[in-house]
């Protein structure tokens, strides 16, 4: 690599080793990340890859994707793009092209520099990268929950609205995670998961976006609601984080949607079942008591914190499984 610590370019030797697959993975990942921002090096690597046996097949993949997807929005291309690219990729697999070669061809999928926007604001790029949940129906649903809770509470239509909100709040980010990762969320899941920014990194990026929206919004809503004997408005934050991490960790075993259904359904069952089974008192009062057991106090919050740390450790250990998770 040439250049100083902040600006460098790939050497001819580095490009050659990357093209023939002999470059160590850490160096390959570093180069691939560099190619996302350096058009000059990306053009050199693309030209080098085109000269290999896999070049022709990867070129067909690129052309198929560019024909179907808007050049400025490859990350959210339509399902037709995946359908057009799938036969070509299958042909590459049948021809014995290694997955590593397919990853090397990622630069071929990037639109030419003339088609890419020269100056895209960072905020726009961050919002675009936030994932399907924040761009889709999940965000209006969260806003509807928040606004609906405020309206019901301040019009007196329903009592104990904060209690109901705290019961539902921990599963809101879990639902966002379910809608953010996997083939159902991204028509080009196979391609994006093979890039340096795919796999667990992509899942975490989209999960952080979901948490960044739901945590402050629902907590602020809880603060604006009458207490009515319910736990504090921020008491659900650690449980929400722990359930989100548990969903991601469990997803490495059983898939994203199934994992979120297990964790979210488990929380609702643990909170609602005892309240529904108890005959004495009103339902809202019994639900508030059950939430107090689950959320209030140092012991309960410490348990959720420990669960979040444990799930983070499991997720770290299971990181490699995200590279091949939920393949069709």
What confidence tens digit (pLDDT) does each residue in 125-166 have? 665 556 677 777 888 888 888 888 888 887 776 777 888 888
- Identify whether residues 159 and 295 lie together within a single domain: yes
Specify if 328 maps to a domain.
no
Domain limits at 200?
Answer: 125-323
For 24, phi and psi rounded to 5 degrees?
-55, 150
Which of 43, 47, 26, 34 lies closest to 8, judged by CA? 34
Q: How many distinct structural domains can be found in the chain?
A: 2
More confident residue, 187 or 207: 207
Per mean pLDDT, which range of 29-43, 98-112, 258-272 is the poorest?
98-112
- Identify whether residues 100 and 218 lie together within a single domain: no
Question: How sure is the predictor about 69, in pLDDT bands with cuts at 50, 70 and 90?
Answer: low
Boundary (domain end) residue, out of 77, 109, 141: 109
- Identify whether residues 185 and 65 lie together within a single domain: no
Does this model's pTM top 0.75? My answer is no
- Identify whether residues 73 and 136 lie together within a single domain: no
Chain-wide mean pLDDT for the chain? 74
- Identify whether residues 96 and 131 lie together within a single domain: no
- Identify whether residues 58 and 199 lie together within a single domain: no
Question: How sure is the predictor about 7, in pLDDT bands with cuts at 50, 70 and 90?
Answer: low
For 2, phi and psi rounded to 5 degrees?
-115, 160
Specify if 147 maps to a domain.
yes
């Amino acid at each position: 690599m040439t250049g100083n610590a902040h600006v460098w370019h790939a050497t001819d030797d580095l490009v050659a080793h990357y093209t023939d697959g002999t470059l160590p993975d850490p160096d390959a990942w570093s180069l691939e990340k560099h190619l996302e921002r350096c058009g000059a090096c990306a053009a050199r690597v693309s030209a080098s890859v085109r000269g290999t046996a896999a070049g022709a097949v990867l070129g067909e993949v690129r052309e198929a994707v560019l024909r179907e997807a808007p050049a400025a929005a490859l990350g959210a291309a339509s399902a037709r793009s995946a359908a057009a690219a799938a036969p070509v990729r299958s042909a590459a697999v049948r021809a014995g092209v290694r997955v590593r070669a397919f990853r090397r061809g990622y630069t071929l999928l990037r639109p030419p520099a003339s088609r890419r926007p020269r100056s895209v604001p960072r905020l726009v790029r961050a919002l675009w990268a936030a994932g399907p949940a924040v761009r889709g129906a999940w965000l209006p649903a969260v806003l509807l929950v928040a606004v609906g809770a405020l309206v019901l509470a301040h019009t007196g239509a329903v009592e104990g609205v904060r209690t109901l909100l705290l019961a539902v709040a921990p599963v809101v980010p879990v639902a966002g995670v379910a809608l953010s990762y996997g083939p159902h969320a991204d028509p080009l899941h196979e391609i994006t998961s093979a890039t340096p920014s795919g796999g667990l990194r992509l899942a975490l990026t989209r999960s952080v976006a979901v948490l960044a929206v739901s945590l402050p919004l629902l907590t602020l809503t809880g603060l604006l609601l009458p207490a009515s004997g319910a736990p504090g408005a921020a008491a659900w934050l650690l449980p929400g984080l722990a359930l989100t991490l548990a969903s991601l960790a469990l997803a490495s075993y059983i898939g994203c949607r199934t994992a979120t259904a297990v964790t979210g359904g488990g929380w609702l069952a643990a909170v609602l079942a005892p309240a529904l089974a108890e005959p004495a008192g009103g339902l809202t009062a019994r639900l508030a008591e059950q939430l107090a057991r689950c959320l209030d106090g140092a012991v309960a919050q410490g348990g959720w914190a420990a669960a979040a740390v444990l799930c983070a450790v499991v997720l770290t250990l299971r990181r490699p499984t995200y590279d091949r998770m939920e393949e069709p």
